[in-house]
Amino acid sequence: MSKKIQLGTKILSANEQYAQQNKQLLTDEKKPCLNMISSPGSGKTTILVRTISDLKAKIKIGVIEGDIQTELDAERIRATNAPAVQINTKGACHLSAAQVNSALHKLPLQEIDAVVIENVGNLVCPSAFELGENDKVVVLSVAEGDDKPIKYPAIFSKAKVLLINKVDMLAGTALADFDIEKVKADTLRLNKDIQIFCISAKTGEGMQGWYDWLCESVGKLK
Amino acid sequence: MHETMVAKGLLDSIIAESEKRNAKPTKAKMSCGTFNTVNDEVLLFAFEAIAKGTICEGMKLDIEHKSIQGKCKSCGKQFDFNITKPACSHCGCDKFDLLPDPALLLEEIELETD
């Protein structure tokens, strides 16, 4: 004999409890927080380095860096004089809210205006784990191809901002088949409220739109 | 690879619910939205591996995938969203809102009784 019991329990509740704690801490400290997600090599760190430098008179950003191994990304952020805490996941494909919780306690929150979490390079798993952030930002570089919103819809459906990076590469002939309008249309179908900015963190092209969004959003959430 | 985290969350919940009722679980049913990108084969393998030596060893796990729902702006009906044919399946209109992805849920467990 057996007995059925109806439950409806959230399976990732352990992560969600930590995410809730992070959200509470960030709200109490009035620090807006973004969770940046993309494939490896899309240019997340380069975007952050340029953003931190260009906006240093307006916003002080603290960064939590997630990588499988090495301190390389945190060192690049620290070279701009911004505080950075590196998390090494040692193989795990996404950051968990518990890891972010301990990193938040290591950041000098009193000295910064906003926190950006740079997730482990992966377009799939990080989208399933809330970290306590206000918004997600997804980065897609043109070298990855214009079919990514359809192939990896979860993150494109959940993000508040899409940064299409490395648009300077479209000037040559090698990547002439990357269709920006297709990416925009496919993404808007999944997420009608998403803001899309075409940028090159290398040349600075298009960055102003992203800066304006960031400053406005940090101002609103503070 | 996040299936191992899902497996661990499932195992902890099933053990807690079973111990509360002092019974051994034989079967569990979970559900997830398609955007949760859960791979059945990987999840079942991970669950079997971490259930070894616990009261969940050898139990059966059913995984139900729920499609994302779109709500048509023209006819107002809900439909299963298909990313390669993004339009209302009732009236063909391509103006719709996507509803949130169903969460990962442990829906039900079956316990052995005497």
pLDDT in tens, chain B (114 residues): 689 999 999 999 999 999 999 999 999 999 999 888 889 999 999 999 999 999 999 999 999 999 999 999 999 999 999 888 889 999 999 889 889 889 999 999 999 976
* Closest to A65 (Cα-Cα) out of A56, A52, A55: A52
B112 in contact with chain A, both atoms CB, cutoff 8 A:
yes
Supply the Cα-derived Rg of chain B in whole angstroms. 18
Query: Which domain, by its residues, includes A177?
Result: 13-221
Tell me what ipTM this predicted complex has: 0.86
Q: Determine the Cα–Cα distance for residues A62 and A33; give it in Å rounded to an integer.
A: 10
What residue of A is the nearest CA neighbor of B87? A189
Q: Determine the Cα–Cα distance for residues A53 and A49; give it in Å rounded to an integer.
A: 6
Average pLDDT over residues A92-110: 95
Residues of B in contact with A4 (CB under 8 A): 108-110
In a domain, A3, yes or no: no
In a domain, A134, yes or no: yes
The per-residue pLDDT for range A32-81, each reduced to its tens digit, is 999 999 999 999 999 999 999 999 999 999 999 999 999 999 999 999 99
In a domain, A43, yes or no: yes
Between the alpha carbon of residue A46 and those of residues A54, A77, A141, A183, A203, the distances in Å are 12, 9, 12, 22, 11
Residues of A in contact with B2 (CB under 8 A): 93-94, 124-125, 128-129
- Map out the domains of chain B with their CATH numbers: 3-111 (3.30.2320.80)
Supply the angle between the helices A13-28 and A97-104 in degrees, to the nearest 10: 30
In a domain, A70, yes or no: yes
In a domain, A25, yes or no: yes
In a domain, A126, yes or no: yes
Q: What is the domain-level CATH number for residue A189?
A: 3.40.50.300
Supply the Cα-derived Rg of chain A in whole angstroms. 18
Q: What are phi and psi of A113, to 5 degrees?
A: -100, -25
